[in-house]
Amino acid sequence: MSSRQVTLIGVPLDLGAGRRGVDMGPSAFRVAGIDERIRSLGYEVRDLGDLPVKIPETQAPGDPRMKYLKEIREVCEDLRDKVEAVAAQGGIAVVLGGDHSIAMGTLAGLARHHHARREKVGLVWFDAHADSNTAETSPSGNIHGMPLAVALGLGSPSLVNLAGFSPMVDGSRAALVGIRDVDVAERANVKASGIGAFTMRDVDERGMRAVVEEAIKRATTGTAGIHVSFDLDVMDPDYAPGVGTPSPGGLSYREAHLAMEMLADTGRVVSAEFVEANPILDHGNGTAGLGVELAASLLGKKIL
């Protein structure tokens, strides 16, 4: 990471989720002191504030297979343009969610910036869920279960083409870490995408170091840099209770920090997002606080 400027972008979107509350996530990260923590690492920090987002009480969900598609696409288009501008200035965008559907906008902006330079982007996606549903496979119609499929070229054309081309990221240059709750119908999508999928069994059997080494290898081979997408529900609920879709048996505190520290050591992280913090379900804002700590490790905080 040669840039010493980090730009924070809040996206208080919860239209993609089935449970309210993650719209307060950006504020929770700021209350937890994310800007001060990043500044302490020697970065110049800009905060663009929050993007304007419509709320479900004022909107009709539309197609039950892809609820609030129009509204979510509009937010992702706005985010795409903001992230692309940050990348063009040589900065690092750190996006604060919001539900995980915002990753479509982050990746569209980053991919579009690098595509214009004939460069590829690598991706490491941390999540309890595969986020690889399409309208045909989703049991809920909630778009926060679809963004990884979209980034890898599967799903609705109106989302798949957010960057102006598809896929935003090649499956061979992407890794999914920590999954343990995958819908039966989306398993075929994971396999079709070509992504390197590492389940919690892989973490248990091989250890976090080996899994992250392989994820980094995929994300750095032939790429200009790595985007890190971190859903806080990848953590075990004992460490991160404030998420909308908790799943037992997740990453430990040290496993997550090790992953962030290893990614920081590559010097190749060009953007990141931390999503799905739900203060309504949290205890003392601890989940957002953990997200801030992990962001610091990703940006180079060291123990010694």
114 is catalytic: no
Active-site annotation holder among 35, 50, 84, 131: 131
Nearest-angstrom CA–CA distance, 241 and 192: 32
The reply to whether 276 belongs to the active site is: yes
CA atoms within a 13 Å half-sphere pointing along the CA-CB vector of 284: 3
Catalytic residue among 113, 114, 144, 227: 144
Q: Which of 114, 129, 227, 257 is catalytic?
A: 129
Catalytic residue among 14, 170, 231, 255: 231
Show Cβ contacts of residue 228 under 8 Å, excluding neighbours closer than 6 positions.
124, 126, 260, 263, 269, 271, 272, 273, 298
Question: What is the distance of C-alpha 175 from the center of its chain?
Answer: 12
127 is catalytic: yes
227 is catalytic: no
> What residue has token string 């957002």?
288
DSSP labels, 215-275: HHHHHHTT-S-EEEEEEGGGB-TTT---BSS--SS-B-HHHHHHHHHHHHHHT-EEEEEEE
Active-site annotation holder among 50, 170, 186, 233: 233
Q: How far, in Å, CA of 104 to CA of 191, rounded?
A: 20
Contact assessment for residue 189 and residue 154, using Cβ atoms and an 8 Å cutoff: yes
Token pair of 113 as six digits = 């910036």
Q: Check if the beta carbon of residue 96 is closer than 8 Å to that of residue 273.
A: yes
Specify whether 99 is catalytic. no
- Which H or E element spans position 5? strand 5-11
| Residue 144: active-site member | yes
Active site residue 100: yes
Q: Are 13 and 101 in contact (CB under 8 A)?
A: yes
The span from the first CA to the last CA of the chain, in angstroms, equals: 19
Catalytic option among 170, 276, 282, 293: 276
List, in order, residues 6 or more apart from 72 with CB less than 8 Å away. 13, 15, 16, 101, 143
Catalytic annotation, pick one of 127, 170, 236, 293: 127
Is 50 catalytic? The answer is no
Q: Catalytic site residues?
A: 100, 127, 129, 131, 144, 231, 233, 276
